[in-house]
Structure 1
Amino acid sequence: MALSWTELAPVDQPRDPLADFAVNAMARFTAADLDLSTENPSPERKSEYDDQWWLALVTVARGDDKVSSLTINELVRKAKDHYTKPLDNDLLIPGEYDGAFRESTDLDVITIYARRAYINAVNEQDGEDSLGIESIEVSFPLDSSTVNPSITEIAPIEMDLAVSDQTVVTAVIDHGIAIAHDLFRRENATGALALSRIDFFLDMDGTPDPNAPIQSTVGRVWTRDEIEQILSTNLHNGLLDEANVYRALGLIDWRRRSINSCAHRVSHGTHVTGLAAGYDAEDAKGVERRIIAVQLPTRLVANTMGQWLQQALEQALTFIARQMEHYTVGGAAQATPLVMNFSFGNFMGPHDGTSRIDRAIDGNLSKMAANSNRPRVLMLPSGNGNLSRCHAIVNLTNAMPSKELDWNLQPADRSASILTAWLPVMTPVKNGTVEMQVTVPGFSTPHTIIAGTAPGLTLLRDTNSSGVKVIVGMVVYSPPRFPTNRGRFEIYLVPTDHPVDVRPVARAGAWKLRFTKATSASDLSLNIWVQRDDTLPGFPQFGRQSYLSDGLYDRFSRPGGAVISDDALDHDSAVYRSGMINGIACGNLPAVIAGYVRSDRKMAAYSAGGPTLNAFRLPGPDASATSDDSVVLQGVLSAGSSSGSRVAMNGTSVSAPQVARWAADQIALSPATPFNRASVTAKALNDDTAGMDKPGLTRTGGGRMKLGSVFGDLRWSEQ
């Protein structure tokens, strides 16, 4: 097999190379993973792969005045009138977007559902003019059986949920949420645990039901009445047949998918929801802690590439906002406080609050706040990538104008590998300011791509068994664009292995990178991040994390061999632990929570920190909460998948929901008092005053919060 580099002229380049890579270059791998055909059965019929729906985050183009955005209805008209062929059947606008939103000219980032034909048309050089999309970021294909392609604008329904002024709604966006767990139920008049505290449950894996009280674009929405009907049907002598409940809800369905997290002993979403809003049936506080749950699509979670969840997150926030309209306090709508938790993340993005998902989160939270005089707050984890070696800072000076770095791809990695090197804010980037050389493992001749005013894209091709050259990678340079205003180099590589013969694959081993600045250029620093792609707990082996190295990075201390979890003051490697904070946790509004060990109050070695590059927030997380009870008793206890069970799970994923629980309690004491991420930081600063043993600001934020252990007394009574 022979590798070759092919540079594309600017007019031949896709406008968003990553979307093109995901939809087209990865097609043979994605189709094999999903057992889809890529062959068109006839000129009139799409292939199975082309017929898939992709969830996409898009930036809406500006109108003729260059200030107002196009409307969603204009996007639909442009798709219908596209000059190549009508594309309106390949575009699906979420039904959750109401008429007023569809006519809004104040749009930035929205979500759409699109097929391959529409995505490719958007990615053409004239895609912004012809279809009104400035930029696009796609997910992994959704399960077609979960998408309702005939959906139109979903009309609001009459459903008033009268609650007290002490009620706080906790919304959890996660995967594997066993909603029938006894911690989410309460007793009825006969003493049976037949009443649910979950008012709304969006299962994005569900099959759409045209008769359901609440419709959705993807999946199935279950109301509390429907959930309680299923609970009552499956209660026998006070005992719940939970397996049958989950079969009735579609949460366990081996015929449709091979991964059913609620059938496992430990499920991420159940554990997180237990910490955020789980209460024993006899605990009166549970009555005032109502729950909205959103189950993320299994396909997107299983794919390991954290960025694929960003699109689903935006849709989840939209769903939650709509359901909050049903709560009334003394007849007043939008008067119930809301605390949300999303315990996922990734490594990528500019880390400065300007990414599409950061803007989408801030936009949704701002809109929620504008519609209510009660708190609306979102908790996010700081991430677990502190030791992953997925961040580097390359400083280029006149004294040292070049720097070499290895990007190590592991064998048997079934996921794509992605690296981004961000330039500093620089508009414009003068031609030749800096260059990146890439050398493939086993080869000695590098390929060079140069930063400047024009985009650059080079395809790396290999020859398959039929003698056809196919893409195994892309090397990209993108000039600065508003609002990030930073140029970037990117490398996208296909998997290094696959159980189905879809070769060629990417070469495993050390990909040599060399960055060099021009003599005439000022000193500059590049921030490099590698995308997370390791396999999540409870899922079959899929991705294996790629990482950076340069020979100067010390993983372990000498003598002793203990893991080093903080960069030393004299750190001389380009690879850093700092700056690995969750890539979607850099916006202005969410509260970001790191993790520490309760017994010795040290930061968990894996807990990621800043600095972020967003000057409008703390340089690291906002606060820290317990992620491990001790070095020996790792993790914290919360709900297992089955009622009555408690299991341990660690990570900043379990720190964030504990703060969400505390926030709900604080808000309930004074619902009309403003509450935001600054309130979280204030609590942390009060609990963890300055001292010699206090971790640095970039690791712990305001400090280590002293929160009571939710279920820790089951481990030892002193908690």
Structure 2
Amino acid sequence: MSYNWKPAPINGPAPIDALTYTRLSSTTFPVADEAWWSAMIELEETSIAAFEQLVAQAFPQELLVPAAYDLGDRAALKHRQFVAIFARKPLLSVLNRKDNGFGVVNVHLGMVTPEAWLNFAAMPGEDTVEEVGPDTVLTGMIDDGLGIAHELFRTGPETTRVAYCAVLPSPPQEGDTETTQGRVLNAKQIDSYLKEFTWSDLLDEDLFYSQTGQVELAEGKFSPVSLRRSHGTHVMGLSAGYAQGADVTSRPIICAVLPPRVVEDTSGISLLPSLCLALQMLSKRASRYRVAGKPVPFVLNFSYGNFSGPHDGTDEVSRLFEQFLSADPQQKRWMTLPAGNGNLARAHGVLRFGEDLPEEAELFLRVLPDDNTASHVEFWMPYSKAVTPPDYVSLTVTPPFGGESLTVNAREGQKQVLCDSQGRVVATLMYTFEPAPTARGVITLAIEPTASLKQGQALAPSGRWKIRAKPKEIYPDQQVEVWIRRDQTLPGYRPGGRQSFFDNGDYQRFGPFGRPLPVDPVDDVSPVRRSGTLSGFADGSSPMVIAAFTRQSHEVSDYSAAGPLTVTPMSPSPFRSGPDAVAEADQSPVVWGVLSAGSRCGSYVRLNGTSVAAPRVARLASDHIADCDDPARGWLMQAVNAARFELYPGTDKDRIGQGGIDIPVDWNTGP
């Protein structure tokens, strides 16, 4: 099949977000105008209430703001704020245009949500205060497949430590007037289910998870808790798990279960609306727990990451976390995040130009066959405060079995599409500008799936795509940062995504003894880099970001991502050069991972990755947050010095931060 590029002018005002524009205008996966999308918007100098009024005048019956935002939230006028919404395509298409007149400066799509799964009559509930013991610290978790019935989260056979659980991938519960999406379980309800489904001292866990909204295989509702091992249960066991015999009552758990469909999309494209809503729901709930009228401390772990984004601390996720951490000034909130597992993924490149460098730079993108998900490559330009940023570079793309594209410059309105012999679009190359505080342009290459079970779908060619960049108005001390969005299918989910990667011949993968090189060689000339691979979610100033070490070898795990970040005048302060510390994630190079809770009571399984290193720090932090006056990252520096785990000498600081910290997890001993 032949493929040809052609210009595709953008009609009307320039789009804000390239991926939102591509998804809404897709002919490969068309969605009816009447369908409801989840979305996260960013409002500027506009309250939620004012936004609702503006939309009601122009697009009646096209917007639903979740009941998690109470009247105070809706009336608050802030310089910038992220809000989770549900909206239809005609409204979202307008909101994703610059100068849209609704106060919206950013739009990110989630997933199409069945109308039957939305409670349009839900209203904000009353903020009732719950008095707790003086040594109480809230432990929070946002993940998928949370096995809340596991014995590590109970104080007895029929009593739970889970005080609040928002199950987002579930239809509304009959009689619930306060939840727009999913259903909410409190401790009393969970206890009643534990009692009802326990016979002869054995809990019917399949029935429990069916009745609590996580699993219903007959209706196609899948959750990892139906498998032997689930990411969320394992991580929560490390951060908040205690054996029933430990009699722990001072660590209540509040958590949110993300929809498996958005977790399955590892690119992070669909995650943001659900994450934004989950953070809002947990934020409102956390403020209710008080001692002598003051909110109790709160430690939240979120063990997710991605590859893409500006990587300078100004991305939407980093700012969303800062919004959450500062939402209640009276409550001390700390957060732990994983550094990411993309060190060896070959998903990051750096394009430099100068007198001693080639006149043009080339990247070769390997797009794999049998990839059922789209692949995205982002080329982030240098920071610019100019109203019209410089035209830094121009790009052309040559696919397998096709000719080279026309040039796409770093200018608004630049767009090329690749069409197959039937005229169907299989790839798009376009420029957009990410407004302040990022203030950087980005050229996005979006490639459609290379395989599909749907007959007649337009497919992109697999193979080696050539990307050529030429300098225009870029200085020798400036560079273009390139990231491939993550899309590899997670374990336990149906096979779908296969990760694309850069396949330049000058990239040195292995050392002299055949072991993968975890750091870039000295004087390496390849544009494909291991440095700068820190998760795109972990670039903010406040969360504690944790890398992974292997205990037996005293080395940083090869996959553990590294800094530095891209430094811009808008980067947050205090700035980070990489992760803050390193915690255990592997027992040895042969025995990978660490043990924690399996999906079923009495089961313990292994998982590895920086996702299991971060919750160890969250566990330790919950024991110290109440008595510490320092910010989270300042406390962690002291904690590393108090319980240092010696790492192999000479390890780069951009990979380890303050160093290794030894945190034993003893489920039989309380805090």
TM interval, shorter chain, is over 0.9
Query: Equivalences for 1:643-662 in 2 at 5 Å?
Result: 643-662=601-620
What is the CA–CA distance in structure 2 between the aligned matches of 1:108 and 1:241, rounded to whole Å? 43
* Cross-structure match for 1:114: 87
Does 1:390 find its partner at 2:347?
yes
- 1: distance between equivalents of 2:150 and 2:434? 49
Q: Which whole-Å deviations, capped at 9, do the CAs of 1:541-562 have from their partners, x for residues lacking one? A: 010001112211111112x211
How has the CA–CA distance of structure 1 residues 132 and 462 changed in structure 2, closer, same or farther, with 3 Å as cutoff? farther
The corresponding residue for 1:190 is none
1:477 maps to what in 2?
A: 431
Q: Is the 8 A contact 2:539 2:576 kept in 1?
A: no
In structure 2, distance between residues paired with 1:605 and 1:691 = 13
Indicate the residue corresponding to 1:46 in structure 2.
none
- Equivalence for 1:584: 537
The AA in structure 1 aligned to 2:257 is Q
Counterparts of 2:474 and 2:342, CA distance in 1: 36
Q: Distance in 2 between matches of 1:687 and 1:252?
A: 41
Instruction: State yes or no: 1:104 paired with 2:98.
Output: no
Give the Cα–Cα distance (whole angstroms) in 2 for the partners of residues 450 and 599 of structure 1: 50
Of the three residues 584, 593, 616, the one matched with 2:546 is: 593
Letter aligned with residue 156 of structure 1: E
1:94-493 residue pairs with structure 2 within 5 A? 94-106=66-78, 107-124=80-97, 128-129=100-101, 131-152=102-123, 154-158=124-128, 160-187=129-156, 193-212=157-176, 215-257=178-220, 259-284=222-247, 286-330=248-292, 332-334=293-295, 336-368=296-328, 370-372=329-331, 375-399=332-356, 400-428=358-386, 432-452=391-411, 454-464=412-422, 469-479=423-433, 481-493=435-447
For 1:34-45, what aligned pairs fall within 5 Å after superposition? none
**Deviation for aligned residue 1:143:** 4.4
SS at match of 2:490: coil
Deviates more, 1:438-447 or 1:339-348: 438-447
1:716 match? none
- Cα distance between partner residues in 1 of 2:17 and 2:666: 45
User: What is the CA distance between 1:176 and its match in structure 2?
Assistant: 0.5
How many angstroms apart in 2 are the aligned matches of 1:76 and 1:709?
A: 47
- What is the root-mean-square deviation of aligned Cα atoms in Å? 2.3
Q: Secondary structure at the match of 1:322?
A: helix
116-125 or 357-366, which deviates more: 116-125
- Structure 1 distance, partners of 2:160, 2:434, is 50
- Paired residue type of 1:490: T
**Cα deviation per residue 1:320-343 (whole Å; 9 max; x = unaligned)?**
11112331224x241x11100111
For residues 689 and 639 of structure 1, what CA distance do their matches in structure 2 show?
A: 24
Distance in 2 of aligned mates of 1:645 and 1:328: 34
What is the correspondence of 1:448-597 to structure 2 with a 5 Å cutoff? 448-452=407-411, 454-464=412-422, 469-479=423-433, 481-518=435-472, 522-558=476-512, 560-597=513-550
Identity %: 31
TM-score after normalising by structure 2 = 0.94
- For residues 209 and 440 of structure 1, do their structure 2 counterparts lie closer, same or farther at Cα, with a shift above 3 Å needed? same
| Larger CA deviation: 612-621 vs 700-709 | 612-621
Aligned-partner residue type, residue 284 of structure 2 = R
Q: Give the aligned residue type for 2:75.
A: E
TM-score scaled by structure 1? 0.88
Taking structure 1 as reference, are residues 225 and 520 closer, same or farther at Cα in structure 2, changes over 3 Å only? closer
Question: Matched residue pairs, number?
Answer: 660
- Give the deviation of 1:447 after TM superposition: 2.4
Residues 1:647 and 1:520: Cα distance change in structure 2 (over 3 Å): closer
Change (3 A) 1:687 1:569: farther
SS of aligned partner of 2:133: coil
Change (3 A) 1:694 1:712: farther
Q: Structure 1: which amino acid aligns with 2:593?
A: G
SS at 2:446's partner residue?
Answer: strand
Counterpart-to-counterpart distance in 1, 2:559 and 2:294: 42
How far apart, in 1, do the equivalents of 2:264 and 2:645 lie? 41
Displacement, 1:506?
1.2
Per the TM alignment, residue 125 of structure 1 is displaced from its structure 2 partner at its CA by 5.5
Counterpart in the other structure of 2:28: 28
- Assess if the C-alpha contact under 8 Å between 2:562 and 2:655 holds in 1: yes
In the alignment, what sits opposite 2:39? 56
Quick check: 1:71–1:103 contact (8 Å CA) kept in 2?
A: yes
Supply the distance in 2 between the matched residues of 1:564 and 1:527 (Cα, whole angstroms): 21
Partner SS for 2:323:
helix
Which range moves more in the overlay, 480-489 or 508-517? 480-489
Shift of 1:57: 1.9
- Do the aligned partners of 1:599 and 1:630 also contact (CA within 8 Å) in 2? yes
Instruction: Evaluate the alpha carbon distance shift between residue 588 and residue 476 of structure 1 in structure 2; reply closer, same or farther with a 3 A threshold.
Output: same
Q: Deviations over 1:610-637 (max 9, x none)?
A: 1112463220011111011111211000
| C-alpha distance in structure 2 between counterparts of 1:145 and 1:274, whole Å | 33
Deviation for aligned residue 1:157? 4.9
The answer to whether the 8 Å contact 2:243/2:668 transfers is: no
Structure 1 counterpart of 2:501, one-letter code: Y
Cα displacement (A) at 1:680: 1.5
Unaligned runs of 5+ in 1: 32-37, 39-48, 62-68, 188-192, 714-719
Provide the rounded CA distance (Å) in 1 between the counterparts of 2:657 and 2:69.
36
CA 1:321–1:258: 2 relative to 1, 3 Å: closer
**Partner residue of 2:47 out of 71, 75, 92:** 71
Quote the offset at 1:255 in angstroms.
2.4
Of 632, 638, 655, which residue of structure 1 is paired with 2:596?
638
Q: Is the 8 A contact 1:201 1:293 kept in 2?
A: yes
Structure 2 unaligned runs (5+)? none
Distance 2:390 2:536 in 1: 29
Shift in Å, 1:446: 3.2
Q: Cα gap change, 1:143/1:699 in structure 2, threshold over 3 Å: closer, same or farther?
A: farther
**Do the aligned partners of 1:496 and 1:508 also contact (CA within 8 Å) in 2?**
yes
For residues 694 and 642 of structure 1, the distance between their equivalents in structure 2, rounded to whole angstroms, comes to 42
